[in-house]
Amino acid sequence: MSRFNILISALVLGCIAGHAQFSVKLNSSQERRIVSDGSFAQDASTSSGFTFGGIDVADIDEISSSTLAQDAAGTMVTLPDGISSRKRAAILDLNSATGENESEKRHLYSCEYMLQIAGLPYFVTTSLDEAISNSSLLILTSSPKKSLNSEAIAKLSDYVASGAILLSPNILSSASADIKKLFGVSDVSVTSKKSKRVLNWTSESHPELVYIDEPEELTTAIGSINVSSFIPSTGTKLAWFDDESERAAVVKNNIGKGATYLFGLLWRDVIQRPQLDKDMETGRGRSNTFEPSADIYPLFLRAAYVAANPVTAWKYTVPDGYSSVLIPTHDCDSRTAYDAMHYMADYERSLGLNGHYFLTVHYFKQPNYLSAFYCDETMPAARKLLADGHTVGSHSICHFPDFGSYKNNELEERFPMKVYTKEEYALYASHDPATKTSYGSTWAELVLSKQIIENDLGNRVRSFRSGHLCINSHMPEAHKIAGYNFSSCYTATSVQSQFPFMQRMKNDWTGDFSGTLQIPLHFSDVFQVEAMSEDNYKEKAKVWIELFNKLKGNYASSVILIHPNREWKMIAQKILIDNMDLTDCGLYNFEAYGDFWLRRTSFDFESFWLPSERKFIIRADADAIAANPSLSLMVELPAGVDAAEAGIANITLIDENSKVHPVRIRHISDSRYLVML
């Protein structure tokens, strides 16, 4: 009821008087009703004694208001004959069109992932004519060096001149004059791999760079990869590599009403490569640092698309309409954690938060390494977590520090996919602290650990986190065998992204998707420089607060890891939460966030703009609307333009049968309106 109470106060103060409509969510059914009469009245016949818009206050869970109207829920909206939906983004798959050596589709995957994060509806095609006819933003998967002739380049130039956006990865020095002219460059130079290469963005104001405003964004890591740099002719330099400021790494070229953007790198190297932990020596930390280097590209293309269109809708990246959410997770990997985790669990329960606890189920003693701390004495504490509404995942059995240190034959020797019974594994698994080497089973660490928890606690284990965040190439197969929905084995720093991604088999370019969503970890109680302690935890909490706010600036959520083995760590988490504006930011369960992200990925929509009626309509399938109560769509206008200037007074959501579904509309800024399903 916190949001409701806060809104009541705002109403009493007259802060939202005069708003056009109110969206009211009911307690029992979660039904939404749209009311125009936003007044309170006394009514002795109701249980609360008061009504809002004619509804008993006791029945109301949440109220939101908007200056924009929407059509009445349940009514039918008829679209004008012949109207087409707003054009989607398109990916032109040049690899398939030309038979280039990219059978694993790493370029195509990277383009699709960028558009998924950007939240833009898109389609993939190998036909240039289809792409330019049905899109207003086009991404080329690879260099157009061989695949586009002069006629095709002329078509692209006309397409851009009409107001469209074209993005391309690097071109070579042998590129034709037509290609160079299209992208506004006169010279191309290819540079081979260089350690810890960075991309420097201009600090000048450009609408495409609206998200690039933090120091870690203005200089983004790309690692040791091949790049191309350019001398602009008609184009404008937006970025450069390393200290080569006299040349350009990213060039914008205005053509008519539209623009082209040329990047001197390959999409696979800045998107899929870091997801596979093949990031080529980017070297900007492991945890408790802000590393958005892979996010820059989807945020850039979203901003470019918004700037070029009078109105845009994109899938929002945070659940429940918050600006950001904090997702607390806890690794219980010691006896002290099991004994002390009630401090964290009780605190989270007092907030109405279902925290997430990854349990290490070390059920046998290993001399000079780990005790048998998962036992009859600690089991009641684990059961209480579930009884109190928290969720539980697996954090392996032996928490091996070298679990990710071996490959190929060494991996087969140390951590094969061998099946063990619980009794057999207790006799086999070993760790030598002196040599820091271990013998175990990847299968057992992921699959057997899940079976043990489910058998002992009776819950469904849906998530896994490896000890020490170690990764080996057998793990995706074990994830799939176990049936994990979610995993959190990477830091956001190591994958250079704040957003989830689907894990690949063998952690390899060619691997199929395992079906497990990797949700990166953003910050934790493990600090590389100066360990967190009872003496400095307040200062460390300030680091978390700063990171949370930086992530919030990109509409990204924050997954935090705190080992629940000390009471003062609960106090540190409390400091972080006390510094959050809980009317704007939320607290969220790890697995609930994973479910939100999976549903967001599969959600599809289209939109229609009716300027003469001052109306913007969003259409999606009724089943998809019902399945996505936590999803929102951002309706965004170019910077500095508000809805009144754009000729929008009404935003309405309809299904495939043209039936209106009620939404909440939150005014985020002068040009952003969040439509919450």
pLDDT at 468 over 80: yes
Bridge partners, residue 66, by sequence: 21
Look at residues 308, 341, 372 and tell me which one is the last residue of a structural domain. Answer: 308
pLDDT at 343 over 70: yes
Predicted local distance difference test score (pLDDT) of residue 101: 52
The residues, ordered by sequence, that sit 6+ positions from 151 with a Cβ below 8 Å of its Cβ are none
Predicted local distance difference test score (pLDDT) of residue 18: 39
Query: What does the alpha-carbon distance between residue 400 and residue 32 come to, in Å, rounded to a whole number?
Result: 50
Look at residues 9, 34, 66 and tell me which one is the last residue of a structural domain. Answer: 66
Give the residue from 146, 135, 147, 34 showing the smallest Cα distance to 85.
Answer: 135
Mean pLDDT estimate for the chain: 91
Predicted local distance difference test score (pLDDT) of residue 16: 39
Question: Within this chain, do residues 30 and 122 fall inside the same structural domain, yes or no?
Answer: no
Question: Within this chain, do residues 367 and 479 fall inside the same structural domain, yes or no?
Answer: yes
Angle, helices 106-118 vs 296-308, to 10°: value is 60
Question: Within this chain, do residues 145 and 290 fall inside the same structural domain, yes or no?
Answer: yes
- Please state, in angstroms and as integers, the Cα–Cα distance from residue 72 to each residue in 201, 623, 629, 652, 665, following that order: 46, 19, 19, 9, 14
Query: What does the alpha-carbon distance between residue 306 and residue 673 come to, in Å, rounded to a whole number?
Result: 13
Instruction: Let me know if 25 is exposed, middle or buried by CB neighbors in 10 A (0-12, 13-18, 19+).
Output: buried
Is pLDDT larger for residue 446 or for residue 30? Answer: 446
Predicted local distance difference test score (pLDDT) of residue 102: 55
**Residue 650 falls inside a structural domain:** no
Give the pLDDT mean for 467-489: 97
Is pLDDT larger for residue 67 or for residue 433? Answer: 433
**Residue 637 falls inside a structural domain:** no
Give the pLDDT mean for 202-210: 94
pLDDT at 17 over 70: no
In percent, the amount of the chain with pLDDT more than 90 equals 77
Question: Within this chain, do residues 288 and 432 fall inside the same structural domain, yes or no?
Answer: no
Predicted local distance difference test score (pLDDT) of residue 14: 38
Q: Taking a C-beta distance cutoff of 8 angstroms, is the pair 219, 200 a contact?
A: yes
- Domain of 348, CATH number, reads 3.20.20.370
**Residue 613 falls inside a structural domain:** no
DSSP 86: P
Question: Within this chain, do residues 37 and 128 fall inside the same structural domain, yes or no?
Answer: no
Query: What does the alpha-carbon distance between residue 332 and residue 374 come to, in Å, rounded to a whole number?
Result: 10
Predicted local distance difference test score (pLDDT) of residue 19: 47
Predicted local distance difference test score (pLDDT) of residue 197: 84
**Residue 340 falls inside a structural domain:** yes
Question: Within this chain, do residues 62 and 192 fall inside the same structural domain, yes or no?
Answer: no
> What count of residues does the chain have?
677
Give the pLDDT mean for 382-393: 98
**Residue 471 falls inside a structural domain:** yes
Q: Using one digit for the tens of pLDDT, what is the confidence trace for 616-642?
A: 999 999 999 999 999 999 999 998 888
Predicted local distance difference test score (pLDDT) of residue 255: 97
- For the chain, the domain total comes to 3
Instruction: Let me know if 210 is exposed, middle or buried by CB neighbors in 10 A (0-12, 13-18, 19+).
Output: middle
Q: Using one digit for the tens of pLDDT, what is the confidence trace for 33-63?
A: 766 666 777 887 888 888 887 888 888 877 7
Question: Within this chain, do residues 18 and 105 fall inside the same structural domain, yes or no?
Answer: no
Of 235-249, 278-292, 360-374, 526-540, the range with the lowest mean pLDDT is 278-292
Pairing of strands 615-619, 324-332: unpaired
Predicted local distance difference test score (pLDDT) of residue 15: 38
**b vs e for 224-261, b when ≥16 Cβ sit within 10 Å of the residue's Cβ?**
bbebbbbbbeebbbbbbbbeeeebbbbbbbebeebbbb
DSSP 208: G
DSSP 296-363: HHHHHHHHHHHHHSSSEEEE-SSGGG-SEEEEEEEEE-SHHHHHHHHHHHHHHHHTT---EEEEP---
| Edge-to-edge strands, sheet with 606-610 | 606-610, 615-619, 650-654, 660-661
Query: What does the alpha-carbon distance between residue 287 and residue 468 come to, in Å, rounded to a whole number?
Result: 12
Q: Taking a C-beta distance cutoff of 8 angstroms, is the pair 462, 393 a contact?
A: yes
Question: Within this chain, do residues 304 and 328 fall inside the same structural domain, yes or no?
Answer: no
* Host H or E run for residue 27: none
Predicted local distance difference test score (pLDDT) of residue 60: 84
Give the residue from 317, 313, 321 showing the smallest Cα distance to 121.
Answer: 313
Predicted local distance difference test score (pLDDT) of residue 2: 41
Give the pLDDT mean for 314-341: 97
Question: Within this chain, do residues 455 and 569 fall inside the same structural domain, yes or no?
Answer: yes
**pLDDT band at 12, cuts 50/70/90?**
very low
Question: Within this chain, do residues 425 and 558 fall inside the same structural domain, yes or no?
Answer: yes
- Domain of 281, CATH number, reads 3.40.50.880
426: left (phi over 0), alpha (psi -120 to 50) or beta: alpha
Range of the domain at 26: 1-66
Question: Within this chain, do residues 330 and 304 fall inside the same structural domain, yes or no?
Answer: no
**Residue 620 falls inside a structural domain:** no
**Residue 513 falls inside a structural domain:** no
**b vs e for 590-616, b when ≥16 Cβ sit within 10 Å of the residue's Cβ?**
bbbbbbbbebbeebebebbbbeeebbb
What pTM was estimated for this model as a whole? 0.91
**Residue 328 falls inside a structural domain:** yes
Question: Within this chain, do residues 406 and 296 fall inside the same structural domain, yes or no?
Answer: no
Predicted local distance difference test score (pLDDT) of residue 66: 65
DSSP 422-470: HHHHHHH-EEETTTTEEE--HHIIIIIHHHHHHHHH-PPP-EE--GGG-
Give the pLDDT mean for 303-319: 95
Q: Using one digit for the tens of pLDDT, what is the confidence trace for 76-85?
A: 999 998 898 9
Look at residues 66, 101, 117 and tell me which one is the last residue of a structural domain. Answer: 66
